[in-house]
Structure 1
């Protein structure tokens, strides 16, 4: 399924949306940007909640809007989770969920009981929206959207009402839905952590215009300084096993092992971890005994030596993936480090992106 968007319309006298996007099939795409950058306006256009003549939208070859056609929102088979709470106030949480089921034009591939369990809303089903907190209402809204069996799921800052733990469990669930049911997802968010956690591709919006499509790695590198790190990289690993005795999870990283402290990763999971340059040291001595568990060979791809100041940055390659190390310029010279050299990377800390 491919999603084609060509839209140019004014939101106000001095603000215009102007995007030309060809979104990849069956993946998760994030629209990232500050408030007021036009992210939500694009979602509303896709959903058909705003009609702008002479603009174009197609999903899997079906034209939903162009100069002569306009498919009504209720006929688009699009699930939409709004930033603002939008449950029907006159019916219970369970009846809101059943409304999603009733909208489905094909048998639902997610079970009602599964949704209730994943979203932890069993004790909310008999309550009306006015009796629910913001986070509780949002969980019900997410369930309602998924039960409608959408061919495209739009998420407009859907996790802003939720606590951190539930937020990342839901991000995992969205990834599971996308992979297992092949439902493409467009996520709108201003959260760096959310978009690098869930997305396959990221577009950054500024002043109504979208930048180039970026991979998670490209995006994280470009935004590392704004996130408080000298360089941050996101790498992909695969689950090996859980070390119950030491409360560790062992991950395969390009043939070597990375140990992290997260206990709730499932077998066969492919996950992302975040590595900050400040947490990576370099050694040329493979025999050194150390308390650092994550040690493996890498190649120095490039060296950024500013010529003054205390620090230098190394880009380190591990087969097809790369990350960074921030070391002192004195260490750079004392170890006689050069580009193309194979050294030992020692990762003191790797943060799991749930």
Structure 2
């Protein structure tokens, strides 16, 4: 059952936000879409920084906006993380964290312990912001947002200002937050990698309106609205590392429906991972493949067939156990193989992207 209900309408010159959303009350919901699609505006409406007349907002049973009632931002129990940490330069890290607590009178000093541990900033507490890296500053900014013991965390492209190295540094901490926090996180991002790695739920926006809203894997597998994860459409599987082949530097990842081999990245057996499989890396066969360079072969059933972006191409959705994969085929191949709904086929996966 959805625990966040949000309905906003704003009319500005050249832009209209018209949103009616039901979202889960825990986990990471990614707000995804091109620039100007309304992601940040929606986040600001939830925070109360933009006031949408006659809007409605309920967060885990608490009404923050309804009819003429509107709870001001400073009274909303939320944390907000911006693209830039915007720390006070004259205060230490600890001083910045304590300052963030002042707006919440009922929060005890011990409330800082968990954010400090989760973000790994205990050794930075005495430093001033000018002695922190970009990734460290952003981790402090996130800890400051959590210091108020929020009931929802809003994150507006928190990694956008960081280079690739700093993004890779901070992503494991964001994954840790995902596992450790029992509150909903609304996460605005342009990055397909961040969405695939962090999100449980996906909202796709375009032109101020919602195009899709649902669990990540299910939404990515929709054929009526193929969503590109960067350069191509594809699906994301929740999996665990089941075995390591040290001789060939490969890891076997097990998911609901089968197993796939991927390049080994030092992730221990038993660790939860996500696997991204792009449609261009999946092929289908009527008969079990013989000797081939493709090491990942699964048995699946055709679940849906749809059009792709080119008139000569099709997307075929295949159910493998309880999981879904997408395959891009030419329409001629679909016809020659006689692919129909419900047909059992062999699924060959050429390449797998492993995300810790």
Distance 1:84 1:176, change over 3 A: closer
Residue 202 of structure 1, CA deviation: 1.9
TM-score w.r.t. length of structure 1 = 0.81
Q: Tell me the distance in 2 between the aligned counterparts of 1:131 and 1:173.
A: 20
Distance 1:6 1:316, change over 3 A: closer
**Partner residue in 2 for 1:9:** 10
Distance 1:52 1:300, change over 3 A: closer
Residue 52 of structure 1, CA deviation: 4.7
What secondary structure, in the 3-state scheme, does the structure 1 residue paired with 2:111 have?
Answer: coil
Residue 350 of structure 1, CA deviation: 0.6
Q: Tell me the distance in 2 between the aligned counterparts of 1:213 and 1:268.
A: 31
The reply to whether residue 114 of structure 1 matches residue 117 of structure 2 is yes
Q: Tell me the distance in 1 between the aligned counterparts of 2:57 and 2:307.
A: 48
Give ranges in structure 2 of 5+ residues lacking alignment. none
Contact 2:15 2:207 (C-alpha < 8 Å) held by counterparts: yes
**Partner residue in 2 for 1:296:** 298
Contact 1:5 1:21 (C-alpha < 8 Å) held by counterparts: yes
Residue 185 of structure 1, CA deviation: 0.4
Contact 2:196 2:276 (C-alpha < 8 Å) held by counterparts: no
**Partner residue in 2 for 1:40:** 40
The reply to whether residue 239 of structure 1 matches residue 241 of structure 2 is yes
Residue 82 of structure 1, CA deviation: 0.9
Q: Tell me the distance in 2 between the aligned counterparts of 1:250 and 1:24.
A: 31
Match for 1:273 among 256, 275, 298?
275
Q: Give the count of matched residue pairs.
A: 348
**Partner residue in 1 for 2:157:** 157
Distance 1:47 1:294, change over 3 A: same
Residue 112 of structure 1, CA deviation: 5.0
Please identify, of 143-152 and 331-340, the stretch whose mean Cα deviation from structure 2 is larger. Answer: 331-340
Please identify, of 257-266 and 73-82, the stretch whose mean Cα deviation from structure 2 is larger. Answer: 257-266
Contact 1:240 1:251 (C-alpha < 8 Å) held by counterparts: yes
Distance 1:262 1:336, change over 3 A: same
Contact 1:240 1:250 (C-alpha < 8 Å) held by counterparts: yes
Residue 70 of structure 1, CA deviation: 3.7
Contact 1:204 1:212 (C-alpha < 8 Å) held by counterparts: yes
Contact 2:118 2:177 (C-alpha < 8 Å) held by counterparts: no
Contact 2:278 2:326 (C-alpha < 8 Å) held by counterparts: yes
* Structural mapping, 1:216-231, within 5 Å: 216-221=216-221, 222-224=225-227, 227-229=230-232, 231=233
Give ranges in structure 1 of 5+ residues lacking alignment. none
What secondary structure, in the 3-state scheme, does the structure 2 residue paired with 1:194 have?
Answer: helix
**Partner residue in 2 for 1:347:** 349
**Partner residue in 2 for 1:79:** 79
**Partner residue in 2 for 1:319:** 321
Q: Tell me the distance in 1 between the aligned counterparts of 2:349 and 2:149.
A: 43
What secondary structure, in the 3-state scheme, does the structure 2 residue paired with 1:64 have?
Answer: strand
Residue 154 of structure 1, CA deviation: 0.3
**What is the alpha-carbon root mean square deviation over aligned residues?**
3.4
TM-score w.r.t. length of structure 2 = 0.81
Contact 2:135 2:170 (C-alpha < 8 Å) held by counterparts: no
Residue 160 of structure 1, CA deviation: 0.9
Distance 1:45 1:310, change over 3 A: closer
Contact 1:177 1:183 (C-alpha < 8 Å) held by counterparts: no
Distance 1:183 1:208, change over 3 A: same
Q: Tell me the distance in 2 between the aligned counterparts of 1:203 and 1:3.
A: 13
**Partner residue in 1 for 2:88:** 88
